[in-house]
Every structure is written in C-alpha cells, then in structure tokens.
Structure 1
C-alpha cells in the first residue's frame, strides 16, 4: 500500500506550546532529517493499528487484558537480537501465566521499536560545577557527560528510525517463526518455577497450565494459533518532529496514522490539554494512551475524552495510571467513577513503576513490594467499583540486571551496583518480571 506523507510546517501542533522538545541547535539539519523521514517507508501500517484498536476495544469491554512492557529507554548500543528476543520472551512467558489465570486473551504490547526519547524534569544537569543539557534519550543526545555527547543532534532521529525498523523485523520474525509457541513459552515458565526461591507458590498454577496444554494436544487443538503470537509495538510519542515526519494518510480512508508505532502514548509531563502533544494525538487514528499521575483528577481527565475520543470509539483511548502504591487507592476511584458516569468505554492500565521510584545508595531504584502493592490497589479499586482492571504497563528487560530491589530472589540494595545498566529508570529483571506475572495471576484468579 502506498501511504501518503502528511508532514510539514503546517501541522497544527506547531502553533501551540509543546513541552519537552529538544533545543535543536541546527535547524537546517532538522529540516533535512525530517524531510528524509517523511520520504521513508512506514514502520507500521494502518491495518495493524486498526487491529490493535479492535483488541483494545475488547479490553475496554472487559473481555481481554493488556500486558505492556519493555525498556525505560532503548539505546542504540543495546540493540541486539538477543536483547530484543529476551524482552519478547519475558513478555510471552508473563502472558502465558496471565492468560491462564484470567481466562481471557492477553494483548501483548512492547515498549520497543521507538522508545528512544525521554522527558526530563530538568533541562540541564550539573556535575562538579559543569552544567550540560540533560540526557533525553539516544534519539536526541548521548549519555556520556561531555559537551559533544550532550549536544542535541537531529541525525539521531534517523538512527532511531533505522533501529526501530530492525527491532520490528526481529519482532515479526520471533512472533511468526515458531519460537514463540505457547508450548515453548510454558516450558520456559516451568524452568522458572523449578529454579525460583518462591517456586512452590506457583507450582499449582504451572500444573494447571500443563493440564490445559495436554487437553489441547489431545483434542488436536488449534495448532497454528498456538505456534504464532501477536505482538504490537508502542512508545511515548514525545518528539513531535519525528512523529509528524512519519505521519501518513491511508488512501483508502483519508485518515491519518502515526506509522512510527502501533500505539503511542502521551506522557504525564506532556498532557497539557491545550498543548502540542494533545493536538497531534487528536489528529491521528492509532489507538492512543495517556499517563495519569497523582495530579490527575476527575475534572482534569474528562476534557481529554472529548478532545481525543469525540466519536466514542472503544479501543481508541486507554488511561495508564501511575499514582504510587500509597496513593492509588485514594486518587483513582473518583476518576474511574466520573468516566463511567459519562458512559465512556476506555481501557484502564496500571503503571506500577513510575510512582514508586526511590533513591537507595545513590541509585534510583524501585522496591518490588511497592510495585506489587500498586497493582493490588489498582485491582482493588476496580473490583469495588465493578469496573475492569484492564492490564499492566511495566518497565522490564529480559536480562539479569540488578536495578530493582526485592522480588522472589530478594535482590538487596547492596547488590544494585552489580549490573545496573539502565540508561534512565530502573527495570524489573527477567525473574522479577515473571514473579510479578504470578502475583498478578493470583489477583486475576
């Protein structure tokens, strides 16, 4: 399909205040890069985005569950086949557990193939009396604390496009190549159960999955469906120069799509109702999400419904709640009640990571128990209100990093230095991610 490029200086968001955009020092280079991106092939296609909207509509109706996860910030150096398949394998293992526990389809969405830009609380960073621009992700500048590395470079957006294309090729190969089969994924989980310090706790669930798989095999079950798996790609739609350059019009319908990813979300720091990000998101047809932190209220959330989903299309809009373990039980109920009173069908996800960041021994970390507690509070709120807890949104990796403390293996604060590899915020490692999946499975059962 020949999609039509729809980028250019006339985009509506350009006339509005737009937060968290880099101060590109060379505007000529920026125009050169965005022109090249506008002429490049799309990374995803409208049909794929529409399919995800259908899946998320089932979530909004209470008929499915979302598992969204991946790196806090992808890096160019971290792009390897092993790293990508490690994240996909972790997500798939978690999904097997959640599918069995919930009895509904699990929509699998990676934080990948575009998560190269990060909002920052401060524009600059000072070390030993030297002040430089903050690191805003590999799409903007480098992590090294030097003037050269921290200078925003628009050519990095082209590298982000190329890296995202490679990642999506790996995702498609993994999803359709048999390595992601349900039987294979469960064998990986059996290994986790047998090796884990908390394995006995999960043994009954694992045995139940075994019995279900044996039943399917005995019945000559849908083998193709068990061999293939559906993965979607998502990222925060932060750099609007990049997103606008990759916006295309579907000639069949005349509708505009962001072709940088299947689902984009508006972050907590960029959800100004009258700002550029909301204006851009209002003009694309992809399924979209919005992060809601502790400052969100029922009164501030309702206008987003009309602005971003005026046609009331189920699956179009998902709210991702990131309020912190100590506040979610108090802050979330009035928002959910108000949205429900409006008769709106939106998806509700819990991001238990961003509201629970603490500093221990000079490093940012998250306590596993806090992560679990926020998810539990999120489920409690929806259970009490009779609404659907639609899923979780987690920062994770497939490796054995040491960035979050706790979990079944009780990672201690003094061990954080061993493999603290994140470019920005701390992620759950492979074992902690699976541990979380089993905890959530108990909430779903």
Structure 2
C-alpha cells in the first residue's frame, strides 16, 4: 500500500495527540468533534505559507534589533464583533501607532494583529460559581457561550467552524483595507480618532502627523512616491490553544513539503500550556510558522534554553519569539538572566513585552 507524502507529513504533526494537552475543552460528543475536524481539514487556508515565511524574515530583523514589532488586538475576540467598523477601528489604531513609531524610531515597524483567531481563552479554573450554581467557565466563543446558563457553557465543536468563518471574514476585510488605499501613509490625518482630537495626546499626534505629511510632500516634490507608502504589510497572530482546530488547519506547503499552521501567520504557546513534555510544544515543533512562547515569572534560564532546543534547533533568527509576561514587580529581577543565557547560547530570538492579558480581580 502506498501512502501520499502529504498524508504522511500531516500525520507526523499529529504526534501531539499522544501527549497530555492542557486547557482543552471536554466535548460531550467526541464523534461530533471528529466530524467537525474532518470538515475543517477540507477548508481552504486562511493564510499562506509564503506569508508566514515573509513574517519570519521580518521577525529576524526584529530579533537583530533592525526593526520594531508592534503587536496588538483584543484579549479575546467575539463572534458578534466581526464587523467592518470594529475591525477598521482596530486596524486604524495600529496603523496610527505604526506611523508614529516608524517616524520617531527611523526603523521599519512590523505590524502584527492579535486578530482573526483569538477566540479562545485559557482559564485558571475549570468552573465558576455564582449564587451557589457551578458551571464550566467561559473559554471563549470558539468553545462555549458567555451567558451563565448550563446550555451556553457546554463546549460545542460547531463553534470551531464559526471561528474559522469569523477569522476568514476578518482577514478578508483586513486585506482589503491594507491594500485598497486605506493604509496609504498619506491618510495619517484621517486615521486620527475622534475621541482624542481635543485631548493633549490627540494634539501631539496631529503635530507629528503634520511633520510626516511635510516629509511626504518633500519626497513627492523630489520625484519619489514609493508604492510601499500606499499599502502595508499586516500579519495575523493568535494563541494556538485549541489543538484540534490548529491541527485541522495544518497544511503541507507545495513548494517545500514543510508543514504550516495556516490559521494564522504567527502562533504562540501560552503560559499555561508551555510544558516541555506536553502537546502544545510538540505541535509547535512540527510547523514552520514563526512561533512565540509566553514566559512567566517561574521561567528559568534552563527552561528557555530547552524551548530553543525544541523549537529553534537551527538557531534561525525570526523563528522564535519570547513573550515576557512577568509583571512590573518581577521583570527586573527575572528577565536579565534569561536574556544573558539565551544570548550566550547563540540563539537570536525576539524579546517582546506582553501587555495583552487581563490584569483582573475575582469578584
């Protein structure tokens, strides 16, 4: 019997199924999940392998200190927020920030949205209790509903298909905005948000926007009006939390035979799922996307070096990003040793701060 090479490659990335996987939903109907996964495996890619390679090149520049990474978006996306106004507002803010950073720092700014896939939430507790009633926690729109009812909180695999379609709609709109004129640098004034027009920060932005406009006018007067000013590279990222979904959207690149998770350009592993002998690290080790790992205050230098060995054995700049999530009270004590030991190992990783998690209290 002969086996298709693509099938063999995809089967190879499913080795994560033999390992413990934290933060996965407990679906009441395994057969329904298998049916959904099979359907997702037939869907078109949301992003392309070549785009992931391009981001890896951009992240290599970030890791070498030759570019700056701007990454932002929602803590968790919601299905009912997939609309033109909501997506345009997020994109406008990132474009606005990117223009200011590029002008002020005089280095390229790599723009990555936490968007088109961030529909899942890791949770510290499997259940929550209100007024004596205990139900499963809300794990994001990709898993269950926010309403505190028994029916809403049951994990439903059909939501994985809704996540795919919501992500596809979002990416379609983002691509239209970033290539259709909205991202033109000459729009820097139009990007200003109404709510800051009369504020000191809004006035500072307007002053900087005028300076950028003057620089653009000077370049045009000199006969230079690059196409790069009219469009923008914008990449999508999310936490690769639900492995059934991420695995179903893993494809073999026809150019190279390598595996890519085509649910997003960059995916990361969270603080609660970064166990070295668990499924998320195994999954990430099999794909060629740029990979991030969140490092919390318990991370040791030895942990960081083992992540490099598993995920970046060839020491490829742009492959691995360490997302530091330690808190202001611990980062000064914890981070320097990690940077020192990682640098000494010969790895060139991007170091990124993580403001994109909820600093909340339990009510």
Give distance in 1, aligned partners of 2:305 and 2:321: 13
Question: Which ranges in structure 1 are unaligned for 5 or more consecutive residues?
Answer: 363-445
TM-score by length of 1: 0.77
The whole-number CA distance in structure 2 between the counterparts of 1:45 and 1:140 is 25
Aligned match of 2:229 = 226
Counterpart of 1:131 in 2: which secondary structure? strand
State the distance in 2 between where 1:298 and 1:134 align. 33
2:294 is the alignment partner of 1:274: no
Q: Secondary structure at 1:148's aligned position in 2?
A: coil
Counterpart CA distance in 2 for 1:116 and 1:208 is: 39
Deviations 1:372-405 (A, max 9, x none): xxxxxxxxxxxxxxxxxxxxxxxxxxxxxxxxxx
The alignment partner of 1:11 has SS state of helix
CA distance in 1, matches of 2:164, 2:193: 37
1:423 is matched with which residue?
none
Is the Cα contact below 8 Å between 2:75 and 2:356 reproduced in 1?
no
| DSSP 3-state at the match of 1:195 | coil
Q: Which residue of 1 aligns with 2:340?
A: 337
Match of 1:253 in 2: 256
The equivalent position to 1:167 in structure 2, one of 146, 166, 170, is: 170
Q: Is the 8 A contact 1:7 1:246 kept in 2?
A: no
Structure 1 residue aligned with 2:75: 72
Q: Distance in 2 between matches of 1:350 and 1:30?
A: 35
Counterpart-to-counterpart distance in 2, 1:9 and 1:342: 29
Is the 8 Å Cα contact of residues 117 and 140 (structure 1) preserved in structure 2? yes
Count residues with an aligned counterpart. 358
Q: Deviations over 1:51-75 (max 9, x none)?
A: 1101111111111111111111111
Residue by residue over 1:120-179, the C-alpha shift from the partner in whole angstroms, topping out at 9 and shown as x without a partner, is 000011111111110000000000000100000001001101111111100110010001
Structure 2 residue corresponding to 1:177, chosen from 180, 183, 188: 180
Do the aligned partners of residues 37 and 358 (structure 1) sit closer, same or farther apart at CA in structure 2, a change above 3 Å counting?
A: closer
Distance in 1 between the 2:62 and 2:154 partners? Answer: 42
State the Cα deviation string for residues 67-112 of structure 1 (Å, max 9, x = none): 1111111111111111111111111001001111111111111111
Q: 1:357 aligns with which of 351, 359, 362?
A: 359
1:219 and 1:294 map into 2 onto residues whose CA distance is 52
User: Are 1:81 and 2:105 an aligned pair?
Assistant: no
Q: Can you list the C-alpha shifts for 1:173-222, whole angstroms capped at 9, x where unaligned? A: 00100011111034434977752234565566445323322222222323
1:4/1:251 contact within 8 Å kept: no
Cα distance change of structure 1 residues 138 and 203 upon mapping to structure 2, 3 Å threshold: closer
Instruction: Give the corresponding residue for 2:145.
Output: 142
Whether the 8 Å contact between 1:140 and 1:153 is mirrored in structure 2 is: yes
The answer to whether the 8 Å contact 1:96/1:186 transfers is no
For the residue of structure 2 that corresponds to 1:22, the secondary structure is coil
User: Normalization by structure 2: what TM-score?
Assistant: 0.93
| Preserved CA contact (<8 Å) 2:140 2:146 | yes
Tell me the distance in 2 between the aligned counterparts of 1:259 and 1:210: 37
Work out whether residues 7 and 38 of structure 1, in 8 Å CA contact, stay in contact via their aligned partners in 2: no
Does the CA contact (< 8 Å) of 1:135 and 1:150 recur in 2? yes
How far the C-alpha of 1:255 sits from its partner, in A, is: 0.4
* Equivalent residues in 2 for 1:87-98, closer than 5 Å: 87-98=90-101
Shift in CA distance, 95/16, structure 1 to aligned 2, threshold 3 Å: same
**Structure-2 residue corresponding to 1:31:** 34
Deviation larger for 29-38 or 81-90: 81-90
Q: Given the superposition, is the C-alpha separation of residues 198 and 37 from structure 1 closer, same or farther in structure 2, using an over 3 Å criterion? A: closer
Which of 135, 155, 158 is matched with 2:158 structurally?
155
1:11: how far off?
A: 1.3
Residue 264 to residue 203, structure 1, CA distance change in 2 (3 Å):
same
Partner of 1:45: 48
**Shift in alpha-carbon separation, 1:297–1:238, aligned structure 2, 3 A:** same
Superposed CA RMSD in Å reads: 2.1
Q: 1:250 to 1:202 in 2, by over 3 A?
A: closer
Structure 1 counterpart SS, 2:81: coil
Q: CA deviation at 1:225?
A: 1.2
Give the distance between the partners of 2:194 and 2:81, measured in 1 at CA. 26
Indicate if the aligned counterparts of 1:291 and 1:321 stay in contact, CA closer than 8 A: yes
Q: Could you list the runs of 5+ residues in structure 2 that have no partner in the other structure? A: none
Alignment of 1:274-353 (within 5 A): 274-353=277-356
Give the Cα–Cα distance (whole angstroms) in 1 for the partners of residues 315 and 107 of structure 2.
24
